[in-house]
Amino acid sequence: MSDELLPQSVLEARLATIRQLQRKGTLVWFVVGILATVAVFTVPWDRYGLSLGLFLYPAAGTILILLFARLQRIRRAARKLELTCPRCGGDLWGPGKEDSPDLEELVLQRGQCPHCHVQLFVPQKDRASGTH
Ligand SMILES: [Zn+2]
């Protein structure tokens, strides 16, 4: 009897891949953020006849573009991993709405698509209990 659209183990492995990708990116951005902060406070901009804005605005623009590119890269990877609902095509990962947990958390907890609520797999109850 196999009415599962996606085996839980497969989905878990794919989500782990995406999370790894996100975590790796986060570390890079953490370092970039620190370097940028240090640059803002330590470079004697006035002595070079530069205003801080001359540095900040292009930097902010570049960071926005890079962040967007990163999001696109992760999205492409997720699509390649087929981390989308086979029924409605919605993403099975990503941040949830406001105070609700991340989508992948909901998917793994309930075994349902967070968008159309189709049952993707039957969650294994034995390890769902205990941690809170
Ligand atoms: Zn769906």
Whole-angstrom distance, CA of residue 11 vs CA of residue 120: 9
DSSP label at residue 50: -
Q: Which helix (H) or strand (E) holds 40?
A: helix 8-42
pLDDT of 73-130, one tens digit each? Answer: 988 998 889 888 888 989 898 888 888 888 988 898 888 999 999 998 888 765 545 4
| Nearest Cα to Cα of residue 15 among 118, 99, 109 | 109
pLDDT of 33-85, one tens digit each? Answer: 898 888 888 888 777 777 777 777 888 898 899 889 988 998 899 888 988 88
What separation in Å is there between the alpha carbon of 120 and the centre of ligand 1?
9
Whole-angstrom distance, CA of residue 119 vs CA of residue 59: 45
- Sorted by sequence, the CB contacts under 8 Å of residue 123 that are 6+ apart come out as 8, 108, 109, 110, 111
Q: Is the pTM of this model over 0.75?
A: no
What separation in Å is there between the alpha carbon of 12 and the centre of ligand 1?
17
Q: CB within 5 A of ion ligand 1: which residues?
A: 85, 87-88, 90, 113, 115-116
What separation in Å is there between the alpha carbon of 112 and the centre of ligand 1?
8
What separation in Å is there between the alpha carbon of 75 and the centre of ligand 1?
17
> Cα-Cα-Cα-Cα dihedral of 93, 80, 125, 22, to 10°?
-40
Question: What is the radius of gyration, based on Cα positions, of the chain?
Answer: 21
Residue boundaries of the structural domains of the chain:
8-129
